[in-house]
Amino acid sequence: MHCIHSLLTLLLTSTAVAHRHAHARHMDMHPSSPSDTAAAPSPHPTKYSNYLFRFTTDNPVNTTEILTSLQPYGFNMSHLHSTFSQTMNGFSALMSDHCVGKLKDMVPDGVEIEPVVTMNVRAPASEPTFPIVLKSRQRFLRHRRRSGGHIHHNHGHGHHVRPRGVGFSIATRILDIPALAPSVAPPVSVTASPSPPQDYDILQTDATWGLQRLSQRDSIRGVTPETAVDGQNFHYKFDESAGEGVDIYVIDTGVNVAHTDFGGRAQVKFVAESLKLTEGAEDVAGHGTHCAGTTGSLHFGVAKRANIYAIKTMGKSGGGLSSDIGAGIEYMVKRHQSRRDLPGFRGSVASMSFGLDIDQKDIGNSSIVSTSPMLDGIIMAAAAAGIHMVIAGGNQGIDACRVSPGYLSNKVAPRIGYNASVITVGATDVFDSRADFSNYGECITTYAPGVAVLSTGIGGDNTTQVKQGTSMATPHVAGLVAYLLGLKPELKLDVQGMKRLITSTAGRGFVKNAAVNEGKLLAYNGIDG
């Protein structure tokens, strides 16, 4: 049957079908055998769905040739969404059930087929914003300069980084921009725990609580349940390298790149085709902008000199198709490979605050999992290419090993022959307790601040938002990875080495209300020694 429906009608129909397939049970996402679909098409109207296809045959497959061969059976080349040459030998397309059967006949032992699913952001897509008030007082101070250029671990030994040389000072850059602070309650008295004499370059005195927690070994002292912690009343200590030369890709709802706190370092690099006509390149949800701000904005970010690149694959509702996410990752891998040998390039980091959920009716059944194996393969291929993938653990208060893509922290993808993994992040509050909503378990690589997090917003070039979720914890760690790449460029492509650094540097045993089989690790930049 020929494809006579309008593309818009087909897309709407296929998205509904894809949503019904969003939750795979017991990791069983494999298609039926070729013999099941070899029969002639039904006389009933043809059903169209969005699919991901991966060729597994040992012999090279010419995707264009295969799809051209399907045209006599009704396939329209305009329904091809994306091809995946860098991350997997495959493609995504809107295809009729009859054409799917014919494709299986053409490559009987070498094609995997998976319905496109909808991934969701790991925090509410829209929350109130409040304006920022400009203040003139200086809030970034240069502290005692390191003499040897070391980052310290919990274990007490140092890691050599490049010697300090004559160059652009981040203190100068920061002080060129007026200090910003939200119009919230007056600052509270919050102090860091006692620690040895500090040896760092920059002290930020108007930081968020998450930044302070990331830069000290011990818990934050002086806070009570009545303390307002969603402002800029805290201190952040960091090395002046601050992620310089590192590319952070925020795969999300987009980024408000015009926000003043990005200082011109944020750019839009990819917009999914399905979103170009409906939303354009702008972030209309606010989720991606908030995450991007935590990774590397001037006042709310961890890696304040990193490049920030928006990969817009999620829409205003907070959902995004696995095919669009795969296309965004494919773009990121290609760009990473084109930049990996450039002078001054120190690595690529992906901040991915999205995933699948378990149906509420199935929450109590620990044997039920929700996965997208083909997108998982794309993510792992990006890690194998040397991109540091940081993923939200999920917000259902369940074992993180039950959902994609967070469960990949426990995988090394032996099926396709590479040894790579990802970093999965859970959320804590200012008291170092696991947030009630945060997923947990052995698939959580580390926890990070994820409650009452202040960051950049949409609706203006200086607005902010307060959000919570593992979505908010993830960019803390993505920014931390970028920060550490600035200190240890030898880890540029070593995703396993970076993961070991993150876990060995993290504060151990701090997280309350975590699973008994966890190390209860809390992310830490090692600045205190």
Catalytic residues: 252, 287, 471
Distance from C-alpha of 402 to C-alpha of 394, rounded to nearest angstrom: 10
User: Exposed, middle or buried by CB within 10 Å (0-12, 13-18, 19+), for 26?
Assistant: exposed
Distance from C-alpha of 332 to C-alpha of 372, rounded to nearest angstrom: 20
Question: What contacts 277, CB < 8 A, 6 or more positions away?
Answer: none
Question: 109: which 2 tokens?
Answer: 């032992």
Give which of 142, 137, 456 is closest to 300, Cα–Cα.
Answer: 456
Give which of 303, 301, 327, 302 is closest to 314, Cα–Cα.
Answer: 327
Give which of 444, 449, 353 is closest to 392, Cα–Cα.
Answer: 353
> Are 105 and 66 within 8 A, CB to CB?
no
Q: Are strands 307-312 and 90-96 parallel, antiparallel or unpaired?
A: unpaired
Q: Which residue has tokens 């897509």? A: 125
Q: Are strands 111-115 and 48-55 parallel, antiparallel or unpaired?
A: antiparallel
Give which of 372, 432, 360, 429 is closest to 403, Cα–Cα.
Answer: 372
Question: 282: which 2 tokens?
Answer: 């702008």
For 325, how many CA atoms within 13 A lie in the half-sphere containing its CB?
34
